[in-house]
Amino acid sequence: GLLVGAAVAGGGHHVDADYPDPFPNDEPYRELLASEFSSLTPENQLKWEFVHPERDRYEFGAADAIVAFAEEHGQAVRGHTLLWHSQNPDWLTEGEFSDAELRDILHEHISTVVGRYAGRIAEWDVANEIFDDSGALRSENLWILRLGEGIVADAFRWAHEADPDARLFLNDYGMESGGPKADAYLALVKELLAEGVPVGGVGFQGHLAFEYSAPGGMADNLRRFVDLGLAVAVTEADVRMPVDGTPTNAQLTQQAEWFGELLEGCLDAGHCTSFTLWGAPDRYSWVPVFFPSQGAATPWWDDLSRKPAYDTLWGIL
Ligand code: XIL
């Protein structure tokens, strides 16, 4: 029953780069998505700046195309994301709204976007990256800054009203192995569950890098959430490395091992519902754009040939 997913390129960094189409019209790429995956996540196409570019205008074309493609191929969809500090449109971040107006804007957005795909999106990342690495609520999140922490609970309630069938997630990076951020989420979900807030899972993004450490201790960390009755997921897996020439066999082996640990860490926790790669092949990855001189972060080379990471992951699956 595990969903194995990929982020679908388009929007975000792809808009200005070589791939202006918000769902690349690239047959070999679409064929890869259709044949290897049972779930798709729009990488940018459901983020505020893309889907809600003006206060009174929504732009659903790209997300509609991805959802239709997924349905055509019997795939599930993960929705990403509703309450985040990043990729918000200027009209929202620069507008002068009262607190009451902001609340209404968020409510309307969630009802509209989640409602449009009700029954068709398996999992939603309702709140994304709300804590910093120390486990404090992020100061740059406009919703929390203006409306307080309680807005997170409201976002989950509104999403649940709009689609009672979707499993609703909190999602963040850099907490696969535990630490202050994971502890902050654990404390938060305990509170939310005690208040009856419809939180259904916690997503661990899984953006790994050789400059940091391997995802050790992951199953024990994730099991703390499973023990509360929640699902866990790996939502944005990639393993980046310095790219100075072609990666060595040793690097590719390490990458394969780390991808494998991410997948096994989730499976071993006991209630892992989805494992999603953040882009594939390398030529659609966000990594080289955001982390200069790093790359090769997906299990496929630019030309769609497979790396050792592919064999490791699909060997486990
Ligand atoms: C990234 C996309 O991959 C880029 O295309 C975009 O320009 C910026 O955002 N954590 C998340 C994702 O939750 O939404 C981010 O995606 C990567 C980090």
CA of 195 to the centre of ligand 1 (A): 31
**Spatial separation of the C-alpha atoms in residues 95 and 88, rounded to whole Å:** 12
In the predicted model, residues of the chain with pLDDT beneath 50 are none
Pocket of ligand 1 (CB under 6 A): 12-13, 43-44, 128, 205, 236, 286
Cβ neighbour number for residue 225 with a 10 Å cutoff = 23
Q: Is 108 a catalytic residue?
A: no
Kindly name the residue from 123, 176, 236, 261 that is annotated as catalytic: 236
Task: Give the position, in ligand 1's atom list, of the atom nearest the Cα of 12.
Answer: 7
What was the pLDDT predicted at 18?
59
**Spatial separation of the C-alpha atoms in residues 73 and 210, rounded to whole Å:** 35
Task: Give the position, in ligand 1's atom list, of the atom nearest the Cα of 173.
Answer: 10
Q: Is 238 helix (H, G, I), strand (E, B) or coil?
A: strand
Task: Give the position, in ligand 1's atom list, of the atom nearest the Cα of 9.
Answer: 5
Tokens 């919703």 correspond to 143
Q: Which residues of 183-193 are buried (b: 16+ CB within 10 A; e: fewer)?
A: ebbbebbeebe
CA of 280 to the centre of ligand 1 (A): 14
- Read off the tokens for 23: 């769902």
Q: Is 191 a catalytic residue?
A: no
ipTM entry? 0.99
Taking the whole predicted model, whether its pTM rises above 0.90 is answered as: yes
Kindly name the residue from 129, 140, 149, 211 that is annotated as catalytic: 129
How is domain 3-316 classified at the CATH fold level? TIM Barrel (3.20.20)
* Residue-range domain boundaries for the chain: 3-316
What was the pLDDT predicted at 15?
72
